[in-house]
Amino acid sequence: MIRKLIFSIILILTSFACNLTATPPPNETKVPTNTVFSLTDASTSPAPTETVSASLTAVITDTPSGSKTPVATVTGLKAKVIADLLSCRYGPGPEYLYLFAFRKTANIQLIGRVDAENWNWLLVENSPTKCWVNAKFLELQGDPQRLPIVYPGIAKLPTTPYYPPSKVLSTQRNKDTNEVNASWVAVPISPGDYEDETMFNYIVEVWRCENGQILFEPLPTNVTFVTFIDEPGCSEPSHGRVFVQEKHGYAGPAEIPWPPYSP
Residue ranges covered by each domain of the chain: 43-151, 168-255
Q: Residue 70: its pLDDT value, please?
A: 47
Per-residue pLDDT tens listing for the chain (263 residues): 555 444 444 444 444 444 555 556 654 545 443 333 332 233 333 333 333 333 323 232 333 434 444 455 778 999 999 999 999 999 999 999 999 999 999 999 999 999 998 999 999 996 668 999 999 999 999 999 999 999 999 999 999 999 999 999 999 999 999 999 999 999 999 999 999 999 999 999 999 999 999 999 999 999 999 999 999 999 999 999 999 999 999 999 999 999 999 87
Which pTM was predicted?
Answer: 0.76
pLDDT digits (tens, 9 = 90+) for 94-124: 999 999 999 999 999 999 999 998 999 999 9
Q: Per-residue DSSP letters for the chain?
A: -HHHHHHHHHHHHHHHHHTEESSPPTT--PPPP-SEE--S---------------EEEEEEE-TTS-EEEEEEES-EEEEE-SSEEEEESSSSTTSPEEEEEETT-EEEEEEEESSTT--EEEE-SSSS-EEEEGGGEEESS-GGGSPEEETTTS-PPBPSSS----EEEEEEETTTTEEEEEE------GGG-SSTT--SEEEEEEEEETTEEEEEEEEESSSEEEEE--S--SS--EEEEEEEETTEEEEEEEPPPPPP--
Domain 43-151: CATH superfamily, name plus number: SH3 Domains (2.30.30.40)
Best CATH choice for the domain 168-255 from the list 1.10.260.40, 2.60.40.10, 2.60.40.1890, 3.30.450.270: 2.60.40.10
